[in-house]
Amino acid sequence: MSLNEHTIGLIIPAYNEEERIGATVRSLVGLSWVDRILVIDDGSTDQTAAAASASGAEVISLPKNRGKAFAMKTGFEAMHTDIVVFLDGDITEGAEQARRLVTPICDGTAEVVIARLKMTSGKGGFGFVRKLAEKGLLFLTGHKLTSVLSGQRAFLSNILTADHFDYKGFGIEFGMTVDLIRRNRRIKEVDVEMKHQATGRDLRGFIHRFRQFVDILCVFLAKAMDRVHIKGNACIPKEQDKV
């Protein structure tokens, strides 16, 4: 099926992104294959909502900051399209390449598509968070993906349920990906030429990455314990099997 045979909605969770959200939205407005653009203003203290609205997006403003996962869930529940695409609010270039995420779903080769962005040389951290996510995913599912933490991803809407978003902090992408693999969803990674605001190697950047690491580690440990619990229960004979 072609793009024109599906309804497609873009959801952009954003918190204090007034300097960048306008450019992101403007690069998406007018794309023929996009039916709806929805920005979820996650309790921003700046003019994120006004900038998004002025640039052509629909906006839902949350009264207080609830975190990315809650903002994504709010957008999903308000978006009734065949395909939903999540994009970060700080994309400075290439947001229109979200089309590459949608195409595999339209042609039936995937149910979930995750964007694989090029690493920015000289920026970002030292890879500890990314390695935790990749190795944690491999341990929990036996699958290897290189873009586990990417916030740019598309879904066939009818495979998603509210519990996919029941995570806190920065654990949403990791936890969601584990759940989708465990439910045997067809996931594909595609390369895109998107650029976003990279977190620097300053104090603020290291605090941000530490929080990411902790949130992902918490999700990993919870799922690892759940896995052990399930295996342990499988080894306990049912009442009727006991001698």
Give the mean pLDDT of 78-82: 96
Structural domain includes residue 242: no
- N- to C-terminal Cα separation, the chain: 57
Residue scoring higher pLDDT (209 or 158): 158
For residue 210, give the amino acid letter.
Answer: F
Residue 243, in any domain of the structure: no
Exposed/middle/buried for residue 218 (C-beta within 10 Å: 0-12, 13-18, 19+): middle
CATH number, domain of 72, equals 3.90.550.10
| Mean pLDDT lowest among 82-86, 186-190, 225-229 | 225-229
Residue 60 in any domain: the answer is yes
Which of helix, strand or coil describes residue 94? coil
What integer is the mean pLDDT of 34-40? 97
Res. 55 pLDDT band, cuts 50 70 90: very high
Residues 105 and 31 sit within 8 Å (Cβ to Cβ): no
45 belongs to a structural domain: yes
- Is the pLDDT reported for residue 112 higher than 50? yes
Residues spanned by the domain of 117: 3-237
Q: What is the pLDDT of residue 96?
A: 87
Q: Is residue 54 part of a domain?
A: yes
d(CA 148, CA 74): 22
Q: Residues with Cβ < 8 Å from 184, sequence gap 6 or more?
A: none
Strand partners, 35: none
The three-point CA angle 64-162-172 to 5° equals 65
CA distance 132 to 129: 5
Domain total of the chain? 1
**pLDDT (average), residues 175-182:** 96
Burial 221-235 (b: 16+ CB within 10 A, else e): eebeeeeeeeeeeee
Supply the pLDDT for residue 94.
87
Q: Tens digits of per-residue pLDDT, 120-137?
A: 554 555 688 999 999 999
Residue 91 confidence class, pLDDT cut points 50, 70, 90: confident
pLDDT digits (tens, 9 = 90+) for 199-239: 556 666 667 778 889 999 999 999 998 766 555 544 333 33
